[in-house]
Structure 1
Amino acid sequence: MSAAVPARPDAAVVVAARRTPIATTGRAFGTVAVDRLAATALTAVADDADGLGPVDDVVLGNCTGPGGNVARVAALSAGLGVGVPGVTVDRQCGSGLAAVLHAADHVRGGDAGLVLAGGAESASTAPLRVRRSAAGDEPYERAPFAPPEFGDPDMGAAADRLAGSCGVGRQRQDRYAQASHAKALRAREQGRFDAETVPVGEVEHDDRPRRLSMSVLARMPAAFVPDGTVTAGNSCANSDGAAAVAVVPESARAGRPGLRLVAGSVTGCDPRLPGWGPVDAVRRVLDRAGADVCDLAAVEIVEAFAGQVLAVTDALGLDPLEVDAGVVCADGGALALGHPWGATGAVVVVRLFSRLVRDGAAAGTLGLATAAVGGGMGVAAVFEVVR
C-alpha cells in the first residue's frame, strides 16, 4: 500500500492592513501606552476582516515595551475576547515583519484560520532600564545586539560605517532623505495614507514629514561618528506607532483581494554591519520566488538611515533616486514618517497592501518588504497580488 501524498499547504494571504499614525517620540503619543496603540490597529484590522471567521491568535512585534506579553494585553484591550491568545516577538527593527511571517506559518501549517499580526512600539513610554550588579544599579540604554567581541555597535554608527565601506557619500544620503520627505508629503496631501490609517484619539496624521532643502541638510553635523556622513537629517526619528494585518488561508479569503506570501526569509550577517542584512535576505526570497528585482512593482524597505538604504539598494541593483524612484518607497518611508522599532516591519507590509491591493494592481503583481535588524540580521518577504 503506497503512502498517502501529503496535502499541499494552503497559502497565506494578507486580506486587511491598517496602521496608526506615526508620531515622533514625546509628541502626540507621548503618554499613550504601547498596548493601546496596538489595540487601535488590531480593532481596525479585525473589523476589516469581519466575516472571515474568528480570530485564532495575535502575533505582535515589540522591542522596548514594559515586558510581559504585549500581544495578549492588546488583544484583550481590542475586545477580541478572552479566548484569543497572543504572542510577542522581538526581532528588533524586523519584529513587525517577523510577526507577519510567524502568522503566515501558523496559517499555512493549518494550525490557524485567521491570525492578526503586526507590531507596536512606544518609545515615549518605554520603561527605564537598570542593570543590577555588586557595584549597584546601573542605568543602560539598550540590551546588547551582539556579544562584545562582535563590536556591538549602535545602529547609527554602524550605518555610517556601512555607507563608508560601500562608497555612499553624504550628498546622496541627503538627497535620498529629502526625496523621502517630499514623497511622504505629496502622498499625505493626495490622501494616499487615509485608507490605511486609523486615528488614535484626535491624532489622524503622521507628524514628521516636512519640507527639507539640500542646503539645510548640508549644514547638519555628523550625528554618530566624528566627520561621518550620517546626520539627524538623513536618519529616521525614534517614534511611536502600531500596525496590523489579517492573515488567512487562501482557501478562506472568500474572494477578497490581498497579498499572498510567496516567500519569506530571515538571514544573518556580520553584527558590525547590521544594515547589510537585507541584501542576503532579499536575494534568498527572490530565489525562492523564482523572481528578480526587475519583476518587483513595489519595494518597501525600512528606511532607518539613508546611507544604509542606498548601500542595500546598490547591492541589489535598484536605483531609488532615479530609475526605480517609483518602485522603492514611492510614498516615502521611515525617514519621513518615523521609525517605531517594533512596528515598522509591519508598516512596510501595510504600505505594500495600499500600493498594490488598494491601488488596484493586477493579480500576479509582486512586491517586496524588507528590514535590517540590529545584531546583524535581515528579514524579507515577497508578496503577490491576488484578486
Structure 2
Amino acid sequence: EVLRRGVALGMTFLDTGEDYEDGYAEELLGKAIKGMREKVFISSKFQPAHNAFPGVMAAIEGSLKRLGTDYIDLYQVQWPNAAVPVTETMSALSALVKAGKVRFAGVSNFTPDQLREAQAAFQPGELVSVQTEYNLLDRSIESDLLPYCRENRVTVIAYNLLSQGHLYFGEKERDILEKVAEKHGGTVTQVIIAWVISRPPVIALTNTMDLRHLEQNAAAADLRLSQADINLIDATFNRQPVLVLPERIRVAGYDADVSHTIYTTLEEAIANAAGIQPSPTALAEEIKNGQMLRPVELVRTRDTSGRYDYDLIHGRVRYWAWVIAHGRQAPIPAFVAGERQYAKSERQ
C-alpha cells in the first residue's frame, strides 16, 4: 500500500538491493509494481561479495527473478571490494547494459578516485550515478565528490538524509530548522530533504512505511528554499571533522540504525560473524593503502566512568577498520553531533 501510494504521489524512483531483508525487499517491490512496471524506475544493487564477473552475472539473475521483471533500470555495485579489481566489476556491468538486462550502471559508496577508475571502463553516458551518504552533519562530499559529479554529469543519489532518523541537533541548529520550516509551512524533515535536493545533481532517497510521513516526504519536493534559507542552513551546519583517539570513544550496544549488526569489541569485528561486506578487516587494508574513509559520527557521552568523551552513533564498521589498521592510539576523523537525543529503546 505504501509503495503504491508513493508511486501515485510521483515517487517513482524505487531503490532496493539483493541483500535487503535477504532478498525479500526485492520480492515485495516486485509484487507492489505488478501492472505498472513502465511507470517506475527500479534501482537495485549487488553485494561486494559478488563483485567478480561471475558473481555479478549470478546476482542480476536473482534480482530479476525476485523483482519479476526482465530488466533493471539502474544496477549498482553496493561497495567496492578490495579483492576484486574495479575494472572487472565494471566490465560485468557494461556487459549487462549491452545485453539489455540493465539500462544504466551506477556505483555506491565509492570515493572520487574509485569513481574515476570506474568511469574509465565505460563508454560515455553508461555509468550515470553514485549513491552516497549525505546529510546536514556529514557534508564531506561537497569538497570533492559533488564537484566532480557536477562537472562530469554524474547523478548523486543521497541516502541517510536523516542519519537513520537520528540526526542530533544542537539547540541553535534545531531553532534554525524550525524557523525555516515555519516560514514555509512545512516540517523540519521536509526542510532537510529540500536542502539536500537544492544542490544539483543530487536526488534524495527517503525511507518510511508510514503513509503520513510518505506524503510529507513527497511534498518536500515542492518546498522551494530561498537562497537566503540555504545560506542560513549552510552557515549553521558547517561542522568540520575533528581527530579523536579511538580509546576515548565508547562503542556501546546501540547504533543510529538499530537494524544494523553491531560489533562492540575488536575481536567481534575481526571475526565478522555476521558476514558484513566489506568487512572491517578488508576496509582496514584500504585504509593502510591510503584510502581515506569518511568520518565516523559521535555525540558527547553520558558515560560517567570518565573513560570516554564520546559515544559512537554511526560508522561502526569504519571505526573498527581504523582500529585494526592503526590501533587505538591513532586519532580517527569524526564529526561530533549536537546534544544527544536517546531513542526510546535506549531509555528503557
Same fold by TM-score greater than 0.5: no
TM-score, normalised relative to structure 2: 0.29
Pick the structure with more helix per residue: 2
Q: Per chain length, whose mean CA-contact separation is higher, i.e. which structure has more relative contact order (CA < 8 Å, sep 6+)?
A: 1
Q: Tell me the TM-score normalized by structure 1.
A: 0.27
